[in-house]
Structure 1
C-alpha cells in the first residue's frame, strides 16, 4: 500500500498526469485539424499525417516548458520529440490504412484507438530520451 501511495506522489506520476493533460490539448489540435481535413474529403492517411504533425509541434513546446521543464539544447530535443512523434504517426497512419481503407471500419474510431496506443508509446520514449535530464544523452 505504501508503494502505491509513493507512486502517486512521485515525479514520474505527476509528469504522466501533465503529459496526459498536454496530450488532451494536442488531441484537440490533432482531431480538430483531422476532422476539418476529412470533412473536405482529404484522404484519411494524409489528413492524419498533417493533423498529427500539428499536434506533435504543439505538444513539444507545452511539454518542454510546463511539464519536463528542460530548456537546454532545444533543437536537438525538438528533433528527438518530432521523430518519436512521427514514429507513432506512422503507427496511426498504418492503422488507418489497414482498418479504414482496407477493412472499412469507421475512421474516427480507428484514429481514437490508434492515438491512445501511440500516446502511451510516446510518453515512455519521450521521458526516457527526449526530456531526459542527464547531460550524457546530448554530449
Structure 2
C-alpha cells in the first residue's frame, strides 16, 4: 500500500505514522504543530484517530521549509492564521513571505562570508602544517 492511499478501514487519509514517514517529522512534531495552531485540526476517523489529507502533506512541507529557513514559530503561526482567513489575506501573506525572503537572503550572504573566512583559515592551517612537517623531515 502506498502513502497516497489510505489504510483499509481507516476512514481515508494518512495515519500519524504514515504522515510522519512521508514528511520526515516525528509524530510528536505533528501533534505539536497542531497544538501550536500551525496545522488546522486534523480530520478524525470513526475511531478518533487523526487522518491527514494530501493537502495536509503539502502544507506541512511548506511549514517545514519556513522553519528550516529560520522563520520563528510565532511568525509561522501568524501566517497559518492568515491562510485560514482565506483570500482576503493574500497580500498580507505575500508581504510576510517577501519579508522572510529578504531575511533569508541576508542570512545566506552572511553565511557565504563566514564560509569564505573559514576556507581561508583552513588553507592557512594547511600551509602551516605543511611547513611544520617539512621542517621536521629536514631534521
TM-score bin, normalised by smaller chain: 0.3 to 0.5
Q: Could you tell me the TM-score, scaled by structure 1's length? A: 0.33
More helix by share: 1
Q: Could you tell me the TM-score, scaled by structure 2's length? A: 0.33
RCO greater where, 1 or 2, for CA within 8 Å and sep 6 or more?
1
